[in-house]
């Protein structure tokens, strides 16, 4: 076990992937000499050179388009999108080209491209810097969409994503970059398996990315009132690990889903639909969702009220138990 921050774990995971395969290249804005705005790629250009750690122009469409071309030539590119809200200029390349290229070629072309996106709020940033847009990509067939919540997952999942022959959109909760945790030498799960973070018998609380820590905190508070909450980290939002999700839902009969994205048509809606469809006879209450309000992301002074915190999660747990 080694203890490190999530940011350092991502850095070391990228380094390990680049050491293992010289076809792995990293590209993005300010990722070379600067090491990225969050310093996730710090030191990589010094070690691997500017041909493998490429500072690009400020053009997300060009970054993704270049990565597609590199993948067609046998490389495994890892793109950094500087902030979540900056991905939209590259959105057409991702959903119209990257997601469809394997199917378009009848499976003859692999698309081993990773799109790294720092996501979510909680850092006091200005507009376009705090979005949770995973549902856009999870809705697009041909893309794998994952989100790490711990340094250990960050270290192993980024390497597993690089090894995928399908494109992976890799969400990194930016407000967790500085959280520390133990990192084991070998992964305990594959890229698309959910993780039971905490066992519990009364309610299942499902989260991913930045909301996992909120869910754990809510479960600890609930325990002081005698409520035994099970916490599940989805880790992968497309595909969903429905085997684990349904088993956990059946074990408690109550499910609450929390995420930072707006509640309307968020990942929680798919979780609720899947659990209701497959576990209906085992449920003792409707599946409840806790998310951000259906509004554009507010100024930083209001983000604590906008994002789903522990109090709103506890309220949903209480409502679930009241049925």
Q: Are 262 and 293 in contact (CB under 8 A)?
A: yes
Q: What is the DSSP letter of 296?
A: P
pLDDT at 1: 82
CA separation for the pair 68, 111 (Å, rounded): 7
CA separation for the pair 7, 39 (Å, rounded): 8
Q: Residue 120: name the closest of 143, 144, 139, 147 by CA.
A: 147
Domain that includes residue 224, residue range:
195-322
Residue 213's SS3 state is helix
Counting the structural domains of the chain, the total is 2
Listed residues 183, 214, 235: the one ending a domain: 183
Provide the CATH number for the domain around residue 291: 3.40.50.920
18 belongs to a structural domain? yes
What are the Cα distances from residue 269, in Å, to 245, 263, 273, 276, 286? 14, 8, 6, 10, 12
Could you tell me the two tokens for 229?
């909450």
87 belongs to a structural domain? yes
190 belongs to a structural domain? no
pLDDT class of 304 with cuts at 50, 70, 90 = very high
CA separation for the pair 238, 145 (Å, rounded): 5
Q: Are 33 and 41 in contact (CB under 8 A)?
A: no
Whether residues 178 and 202 fall in one domain: no
Whether residues 44 and 143 fall in one domain: yes
Whether residues 15 and 121 fall in one domain: yes
What predicted TM-score, i.e. pTM, was given to this entire model? 0.96
Whether residues 31 and 161 fall in one domain: yes
Listed residues 133, 155, 183: the one ending a domain: 183
Concerning whether 129 is annotated as a catalytic residue, the answer is yes
- The whole-number average pLDDT for the span 72-100 is 97
Catalytic, out of 128, 129, 192, 208 = 129
* Four-point Cα dihedral 46, 50, 55, 56, nearest 10: -170
The per-residue pLDDT for range 136-186, each reduced to its tens digit, is: 999 999 999 999 999 999 999 999 999 999 999 999 999 999 999 999 999
Q: Residue 286: name the closest of 299, 275, 297 by CA.
A: 275
Q: What is the DSSP letter of 88?
A: G
The per-residue pLDDT for range 193-208, each reduced to its tens digit, is: 999 999 999 999 999 9
Whether residues 134 and 202 fall in one domain: no
């Amino acid at each position: 076990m080694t203890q490190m921050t999530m940011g350092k774990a991502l850095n070391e995971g990228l380094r390990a992937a680049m050491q293992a395969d010289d076809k792995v290249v990293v590209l993005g804005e300010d990722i070379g000499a600067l090491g990225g705005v969050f310093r996730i790629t710090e030191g990589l250009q010094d070690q691997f050179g500017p041909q493998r750690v490429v500072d690009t122009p400020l053009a997300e469409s060009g970054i993704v388009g270049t990565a597609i071309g590199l993948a067609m030539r046998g490389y495994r590119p890892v793109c950094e999108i500087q902030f979540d809200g900056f991905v939209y200029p590259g959105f057409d390349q991702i959903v119209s080209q990257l997601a469809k290229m394997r199917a378009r070629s009848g499976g003859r072309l692999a698309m081993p491209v990773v799109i790294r996106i720092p996501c979510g709020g909680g850092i006091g940033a200005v507009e376009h810097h705090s979005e949770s847009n995973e549902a856009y990509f999870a809705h697009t067939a041909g893309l794998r969409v994952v989100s790490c919540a711990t340094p250990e997952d960050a270290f192993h999942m980024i390497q597993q994503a690089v090894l995928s022959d399908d494109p992976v959109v890799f969400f990194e909760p930016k407000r967790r970059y500085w959280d520390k945790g133990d990192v084991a030498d070998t992964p305990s799960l594959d890229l698309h398996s959910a993780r039971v973070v905490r066992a519990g018998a009364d309610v299942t609380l499902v989260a991913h990315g930045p909301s996992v820590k909120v869910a754990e905190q809510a479960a600890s508070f609930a325990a002081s009132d005698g409520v035994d909450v099970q916490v599940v980290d989805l880790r992968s939002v497309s595909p969903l690990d429905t085997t684990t999700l349904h088993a956990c839902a059946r074990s408690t009969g109550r499910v609450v889903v929390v995420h930072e994205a707006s509640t309307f048509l968020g990942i929680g809606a798919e979780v609720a639909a899947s659990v209701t469809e497959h576990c209906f006879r085992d449920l003792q209450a409707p599946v409840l969702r806790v998310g951000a309000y259906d509004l554009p992301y507010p100024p930083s002074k209001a983000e604590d009220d906008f994002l789903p915190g522990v109090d709103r999660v506890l309220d949903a747990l209480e409502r679930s138990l009241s049925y």
